[in-house]
């Protein structure tokens, strides 16, 4: 009997357990622990967190609460703690109504909206949730664990701090995973350390300079993966006394003004950076405005800027005191650079816009790989002529510059570069394998070019000298204004619709001459005579053993458009070349036998054809050919020219 009763009891027990499981509105819960950095978070898995308890609201964990916030923009987040607790850290956009004020302020909430309620740990939020349900709120969710569990999970919060933030002694203050709103001054001093990591730090100002920030006494600021910004006006932060700043992967919109410290900026965007006696390194960053002044003490300053992102910077100012400045992969706009006392500047693979550079006291600049021709509005390099023994060396390589002015007793070397250059004062410019958009010479400067190209010339109140070697001068315009100088070297003019202006000026051009035969071998002892437009002899001379000689011509406002004729004679060999202000140098005269008109070494039918083609022509006619006018009287191709060639038909030359 007892056994039968036991069996029946077990059957009824199984029956009731099965029915209980079937009648439950949701499946049973299970939990697990997920590791997250230095903390562990207890998570509750469910298929539906909208489970209504017997009290009329649902309990949700912090993970579910975060999903609700992200999925529902109209969700009301209700913080039921005190004002002090709220300021210490709350969920962003949370509405604060302390639980003891909730029933009196219930009208401030919308009964139709879903409402997520939280407190510190979950106790007060349960009470507040019940109050809401009792007052007709139908969708109420209580966040288990409160803000404590939320912060332990590493979720974002907002902190409001009013009053001065003071970090001193050996204190380390960490702002992390939050929006931090600061109303008041910030002081980091006496080895104090402020760390802002994965956060947004907002300085709340009504007007500029209402509050400020300062660092001194070997303090430090580390900003990483964060944004430093302001309400109302930018916050200015001043640093001094060997403080240390590291900014990585950040947007720093405060005005950063540096004194004596070490600064590292990496992969970041800054609004303003100004510094004095600092060791500064900037890499892969953007800086809106930079003011840099090395003006204190005779100690070495080192500045390295690498891969500054494209941006039009408003003002840069580097000045004084043995500064070592390095720019790499950088874009700069609005740069005033004053370098004194043995400073060194190196620029590599960069872009510079609107730059004025003033170098003093034996400074050195090396610029390599400046990119994108035509990007640069104005460069001004100069020295102070009132300072004795002033000199700087500037080197440009693989570079493009729109406008460059070199002044004072300075020297600039340019290689593999595109530039618009103004040489002023007593400056010296050496250009090698480069392209100059316009070469502007003033005062007593000196210029030398080799294997280069110049698109335009402007001489203004210029009294120095210019030497072009193996250079192409492409003239769209050539202006000579109130100048008196010497132009020498070997160069070729490429003339388009050229505009030449001569005003109260005098240019002495040195013309190199080379006499050669049809095989391009030099011909020595060639007699040369230069005739003006009136057939008056201007110069005569003879080539040396290398077939070379030279002569000078002075061009003024009255004769710069004149054309002169250079004749070369040696036995039965001759050559004729017109020479003027825009003639190429060297003047190459290819000596030909007088009847060998095409210079192929034989008097043949081709020579007769040349004369026949120009027969009857005079200077100015479309088919005029000066080469075939070989018999006096000169000035017309006639039967005497044809007869002379025919007479020597078949002759072969040595």
Catalytic residues: 119
Long-range residue pairs from 625-630, CB within 8 A, at least 24 positions apart, any chain: 626/576, 627/576, 627/597, 628/597, 630/594, 630/595, 630/597
Which residue in the block uniquely carries the two structure tokens 């933030």? Answer: 165
Q: Is 104 exposed, middle or buried (0-12, 13-18, 19+ CB in 10 A)?
A: exposed
End-to-end CA gap in the chain: 147
Name the token pair of 432: 């090698």
Among candidate residues 228, 245, 235, the one with its CA nearest the CA of residue 186: 235
Can you spell out the DSSP letters for 329-379? S-EEEEEEEEE-SS-EEEEES-EEEEEEEEE-SSEEEEEE---STT----E
Cα 230 to Cα 205: distance, rounded to the nearest angstrom: 7
Category of 374 on φ-ψ map: left (φ > 0), alpha (ψ -120 to 50) or beta: left
Q: What share of the chain is helix, strand, coil (3-state, %, to 5)?
A: 15, 50, 40
In the sheet that holds 592-593, the strands lie side by side as: 537-542, 527-531, 564-570, 573-579, 592-593
* Contacts (Cβ under 8 Å, ≥6 apart) of 63: 41, 43, 153
The answer to whether the CB of 522 falls within 8 A of the CB of 591 is: no
3-state secondary structure of 92: coil
Look up residue 67 and give its DSSP letter.
H
* Contacts (Cβ under 8 Å, ≥6 apart) of 334: 312, 313, 314, 315, 316, 353, 354, 355
Which residue in the block uniquely carries the two structure tokens 């490429």? Answer: 494
In degrees and rounded to multiples of 5, residue 68 shows phi and psi of: -65, -45
Cα 370 to Cα 373: distance, rounded to the nearest angstrom: 9
Cα 186 to Cα 164: distance, rounded to the nearest angstrom: 6
- Give the CA radius of gyration of the chain: 43
Query: For residue 633, is the peptide bond before it cis, meaning its omega torsion is within 30 degrees of 0?
Result: yes
Cα 571 to Cα 654: distance, rounded to the nearest angstrom: 13
CA quadruple 6, 12, 13, 14: dihedral positive or negative? Answer: positive
Helix 639-647 crosses helix 605-613 at what angle (to 10 degrees)? 180
Among candidate residues 397, 344, 346, the one with its CA nearest the CA of residue 368: 397
Name the token pair of 287: 């800086």
């Amino acid at each position: 009997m007892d056994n039968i009763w036991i069996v029946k009891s077990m059957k009824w027990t199984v029956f009731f357990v099965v029915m209980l499981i079937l009648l439950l509105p949701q499946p049973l819960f299970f939990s697990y622990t997920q590791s997250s950095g230095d903390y562990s978070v207890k998570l509750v898995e469910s298929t539906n967190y909208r489970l209504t308890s017997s009290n009329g609201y649902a309990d949700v964990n912090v993970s579910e609460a975060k999903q609700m916030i992200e999925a529902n923009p109209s969700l009301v987040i209700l913080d039921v703690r005190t004002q002090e607790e709220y300021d210490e850290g709350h969920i962003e956009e949370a509405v604060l109504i302390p639980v003891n004020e909730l029933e009196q302020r219930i009208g401030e909430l919308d009964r139709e909206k879903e409402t997520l309620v939280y407190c510190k740990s979950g106790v007060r939020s349960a009470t507040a949730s019940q109050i809401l349900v009792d007052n007709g709120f139908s969708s109420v969710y209580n966040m288990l664990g409160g803000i404590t569990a939320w912060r332990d999970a590493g979720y974002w919060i907002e902190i409001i701090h009013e009053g001065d933030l003071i970090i001193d002694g050996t204190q380390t203050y960490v702002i992390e995973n939050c929006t931090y709103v600061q109303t008041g001054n910030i002081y980091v001093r006496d080895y104090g350390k402020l760390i802002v990591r994965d956060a947004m730090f907002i300085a709340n100002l009504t007007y500029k300079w209402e509050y400020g920030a300062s660092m001194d006494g070997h303090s430090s600021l580390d900003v990483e993966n964060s944004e430093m910004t302001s309400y109302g006006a930018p916050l200015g932060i001043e640093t001094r006394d060997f403080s240390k700043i590291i900014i990585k992967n950040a947007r720093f919109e405060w005005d950063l003004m540096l004194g004596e410290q070490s600064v590292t900026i990496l992969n970041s965007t800054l609004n303003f950076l100004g510094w004095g006696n600092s060791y500064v390194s900037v890499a892969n960053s953007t800086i809106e405005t930079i003011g840099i002044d090395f003006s204190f003490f005779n100690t070495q300053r080192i500045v390295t800027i690498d891969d500054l992102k494209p941006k039009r910077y408003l003002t840069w100012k580097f000045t004084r005191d043995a500064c070592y400045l390095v720019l790499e992969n950088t874009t700069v706009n609005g740069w005033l650079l004053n370098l004194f006392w043995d400073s060194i500047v190196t620029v590599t693979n960069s872009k510079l816009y609107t730059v004025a550079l003033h170098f003093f006291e034996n400074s050195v600049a090396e610029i390599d790989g400046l990119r994108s021709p035509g990007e640069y509005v104005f460069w001004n390099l100069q020295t102070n002529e009132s300072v004795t023994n002033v000199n700087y060396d500037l080197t440009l390589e693989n570079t493009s510059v729109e406008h460059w002015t070199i002044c004072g007793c300075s020297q600039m070397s340019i290689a593999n570069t595109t530039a618009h250059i103004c040489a002023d004062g007593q400056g010296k410019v050496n250009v090698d394998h480069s392209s100059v958009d316009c070469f502007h010479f003033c005062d007593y400067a000196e210029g030398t070019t080799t294997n280069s190209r110049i698109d335009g010339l402007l001489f203004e109140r210029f009294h120095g000298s210019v030497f072009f070697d193996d250079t192409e001068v492409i003239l769209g315009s050539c202006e000579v204004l109130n100048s008196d100088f010497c132009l020498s070297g070997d160069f070729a003019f490429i003339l388009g619709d050229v505009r030449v202006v001569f005003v109260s000026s005098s240019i002495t051009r040195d013309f190199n001459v080379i006499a050669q035969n049809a095989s391009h071998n030099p011909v020595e002892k060639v007699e040369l005579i230069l005739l003006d437009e009136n057939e008056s002899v201007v110069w005569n001379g003879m080539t040396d053993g290398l077939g070379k000689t030279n002569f000078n011509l002075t061009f003024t406002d009255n004769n710069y458009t004149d054309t002169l004729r250079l004749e070369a004679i040696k036995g039965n060999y001759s050559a004729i070349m017109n020479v003027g202000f825009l003639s190429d140098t060297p003047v190459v005269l290819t000596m030909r036998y007088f009847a060998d008109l095409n210079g192929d070494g034989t008097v043949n039918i081709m020579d007769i054809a040349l004369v026949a083609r120009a027969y009857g022509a005079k200077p100015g006619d479309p088919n005029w050919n000066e080469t075939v006018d070989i018999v006096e009287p000169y000035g017309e191709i006639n039967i005497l020219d044809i007869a002379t060639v025919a007479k020597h038909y078949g002759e072969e030359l040595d």
